[in-house]
Amino acid sequence: MSEHAHIDPSNKKIALLIAILALCLAITETLSKAYQTEVITKQVESSNLWAFFQAKSIRKTSTELALETIKATAPANDAKSEEIMNKWTAAVKRYDTEPETGEGRKELAARAKKAEQLGQVANHKYHNFEIASGMLQVAIVLASASIITAVGLLGALSGGLGLVAVGFSIYALFF
């Protein structure tokens, strides 16, 4: 029987540990990328909403200026001027708040802030998954070194580090 035919049972355990750590690494990397994408998506959404907010603000200010101009220059009791002023006053109010469409300045600001908040949460989760991924990579290296060096403490350290990394992943996922 050749000398390679005998496999140390502790190596089988370490190999299984490496397989489990690799599986956990694959899961954390996948979740990390998903949250990284979510961060970018929320940043874009927030930027778009703030741009829309600015456009509404410019429209509101322009309409207010036009309204003030017509008030200052229109002849008294002019029906046409009154009609225009009423129309522009309604537009100014609509630019400020439009709950039925969610496209008034107040609603846009609230939506943009919500997108920013969700982006921050996704960013926090992304970073925790990245930390877990790094820990799992180190754990795999330690487990591999344990096989090569036959130092059982490295295997135990690898398993412990893997558990801590899984804890980080669980924390990122649920908290």
Per-residue pLDDT of 80-98, as tens digits, reads 999 999 999 999 999 999 9
The H or E element that residue 75 is part of is none
C-alpha 28/C-alpha 154 separation (Å) is: 22
Distances (CA, A) of 26 to 1, 29, 121, 131: 38, 5, 22, 13
- Residue 106 inside a domain? The answer is yes
% of the chain surpassing 90 pLDDT:
85
Mean pLDDT score, 136-164: 95
Token duo for residue 136: 């799992």
Quick check: 46 pLDDT over 90? Answer: yes
Cα dihedral across residues 129, 134, 139, 144: positive or negative: positive
What band does 3 get if pLDDT is binned at 50, 70 and 90? low
* First and final C-alpha spacing in the chain: 55
Residue 118 half-sphere exposure toward CB, CA atoms < 13 A: 15
Looking at residue 61, what is its pLDDT? 96
Give dist(CA 95, CA 40) in Å, integer.
Answer: 28
In a domain, 4, yes or no: no
Q: Is the pLDDT assigned to residue 17 strictly greater than 80?
A: yes
Residue 26 is assigned to a structural domain of this protein: yes
Reference 140, options 161, 170, 164; nearest CA is 161
* Residues 52, 103 contacting (CB under 8 angstroms): yes
| φ and ψ at residue 81, rounded to 5 degrees | -65, -40
Mean pLDDT along residues 31-57: 97
Other C-beta atoms closer than 10 Å to the C-beta of 43 total 15
* pLDDT tens-digit series, residues 126-137: 999 999 999 999
Residue 2 lies in a domain: no
Neighbours of 175 (CB within 10 A): 8
Q: With 50 as the cut, is the pLDDT of residue 75 above it?
A: yes
Residue 14 lies in a domain: yes
Share of the chain above pLDDT 70, in %: 96
Which pLDDT does position 93 carry in this prediction? 95
| Domain total of the chain | 1
- pLDDT of 114 over the 90 cut: yes
Q: Do the domain assignments include residue 1? A: no
pLDDT for the residue 6: 60
User: Does a structural domain hold residue 71?
Assistant: yes
Average pLDDT for 12-38: 96
pLDDT reported for residue 7: 63
Q: Containing domain of residue 42, as a range?
A: 9-174
